[in-house]
Amino acid sequence: MRNNPIGRVVGALLALCVLGSPAWGAAVNSADDVGIASVVTDTTKPRQCVFAYAVIDTGNNDMFVSRQQVTPGPDESANRSRFPCPTQVPTRLATRALEACLSRTADAKLCVYGDMARGFESRPDIRQTAENTSRCASDLANYIGIACFDTGDRQVCNVACGGTEQEARDLARGRCEVKQQKRCPITGVAEILPPQ
């Protein structure tokens, strides 16, 4: 086993488990010269709550999904391999959701939440958008969907959460068409939980 690099890594991992250095689920670094992934993580532990926000730069119609993970409390237990999300969402999460947009735009006023009020095309302001309906929680849905119509200068959009990609897309399109009273053919969807 001395000349076998895989054997060295397995031996090192076994030694770590016996000594108890890292907790289960913690990242374990392996040797760089071995032809396997450098990080091993526990993919069987429950997923923490993630809030996904749809954010738009109205200057160039760039859309962003901002994911933010929330650490579960000590008394919380997982349901269906996921921890519940808090019912009260701190305002700082909403502020952080805009940062992906703010770091890429020339004018901070162009960054808004993805769920827009009717008439947004004539009053394109963040006050005409809603933070709470621009986010989806990972304990309730798997995907965040967005649907928009094009005004020529900008897109006007609405957001919905769904269990599947198609459901999130269909619910977003339905929300947009009811709220905006227009056809909303521009759609997009993203996973709420990032891949493990």
Residue-wise pLDDT for 109-148, tens only, equals: 999 999 999 999 999 999 999 999 999 999 999 999 999 9
Computed over every residue of the chain, the mean pLDDT equals: 81
Euclidean distance between the first and the last CA atom of the chain, given in angstroms as a whole number = 31
User: Are 53 and 74 found together in one domain?
Assistant: yes
Question: For the whole prediction, is pTM greater than 0.85?
Answer: no
Q: Is 115 within 8 Å of 54 (Cβ atoms)? A: yes
Write out the residue range of the structural domain in which residue 30 sits: 5-40
Residue 166 lies in a domain: yes
Separation between Cα atoms, residue 189 and residue 172, nearest integer Å: 9
Both 72 and 107 in one domain: the answer is: yes
> pLDDT digits over 1-46, tens only?
444 433 333 333 233 233 333 333 233 333 444 455 555 555 577 8
Domain count, the chain: 2
